[in-house]
Homo-oligomer: A and B are copies of this chain.
Amino acid sequence: MEYLTSPQEMQYWANEQRRVGRTVAFVPTMGYFHQGHLKLMEYGRSRADRLVVSLFVNPLQFGPGEDFARYPRDEKRDQALAQMAGVDVLFLPAPEDLYPVHFQTYVTVEKVTQGLCGASRPGHFRGVATVVAKLFNLVKPHWAIFGLKDYQQYVVIRQMVRDLNLDLEVVGRPTIRENDGLAMSSRNVYLSPQERGSALSLSAALKTAQERCRAGEHRAAILLDEVVRRISGQPDTRLDYARIVDPETLEGVEFIKDPAVLILAAWVGKTRLIDNGFLGGYPDCPA
């Protein structure tokens, strides 16, 4: 496995691959790898001749008062895991190389960032879109692989790629869960044992809604009512939002006839968790 830190070297490597006709898969990450990351790497590994993983905790996507400073980091462990996952290049850029002194250019995706996490975290998706555009230009992948746990992020990136004519395909891969259902996240490490119990209500509520939808309840308001009740009933837990939305536009859906996504965010103690699940079918990324 090669370690690259310089953007110039990364781009040079990318051009070499293109020149000799190799395909490249890319998994952008903020590190602190869990099984979800490793599954994305495994998929990328199987899809392309070369696999690049970037590890960069992107300051631009954290708001003031968010957890940038304490975001969990363990670079040594991440390196060992990436090596085992068959990663060809681990790209570890320095913040000052991606954001030099006069940096001032941002990529904004408008409609699909308006609600959900975009409403709770102003500037977050601008930070995500900007860094991902930069990384795409440095890594020049044929496929960029994202976890569907961050569903809105996946939609934002896909929209950006389409709108800016970026020459790559965005692939969304299913959320990986702990045995008890909790969606894997680097932030789960913040949870106390009691909070971890409360956090289970997110995936449990999702699962129930999926089951009720399959059983014929297609009214979004009814399904959401139960989700709200279930999550809000937990100790130390505050629901940020729970909505049923169109998988492409993220606009609210009142009655589920086409596939829709139930998407939610909640604070459990001081930790903000997100989760989502498809209702009425699972388009373009079968589990």
Contacts and interface: CB of A to CB of B under 8 A. Distances in A.
Contacts of A30: none
Interface stretch (A64-72, A158-166, A219-227): A158-166
B165 A104 contact: no
Interface string A35-62: 0000000000000000000000000000
A111 interface: yes
Contact of A110 (B104, B112, B138, B159): B104
Interface of A: 7, 11, 15, 18-19, 21, 102-112, 129-130, 133-134, 137-138, 140, 159-160, 163-167, 249
A94 B203 CA distance: 46
Contact of A108 (B7, B103, B108): B108
A164 B103 CA distance: 9
Chain copies in complex: 2
B102 A111 contact: yes
A132 to B, nearest CB: 11
A218 to B, nearest CB: 25
B110 A107 contact: no
28 contacts: A7-B165, A11-B167, A15-B167, A18-B18, A18-B19, A19-B21, A102-B111, A102-B249, A104-B109, A104-B111, A104-B112, A104-B159, A104-B163, A105-B109, A105-B110, A105-B129, A105-B160, A105-B163, A105-B164, A106-B108, A106-B110, A107-B107, A107-B164, A134-B163, A134-B165, A137-B164, A137-B166, A140-B167
A29 to B, nearest CB: 18
A224 B202 CA distance: 65
Contacts of A109: 104-105
A111 B110 CA distance: 21
A57 B18 CA distance: 32
Given A21-B19, A102-B159, A167 B137 contact: yes
Nearest to A139: B165
Contacts of A111: 102, 104
A134 B107 CA distance: 12
Nearest to A163: B105
Contact of A105 (B11, B18, B107): B107
Nearest to A140: B167
Contacts of A21: 19
A137 B161 CA distance: 10
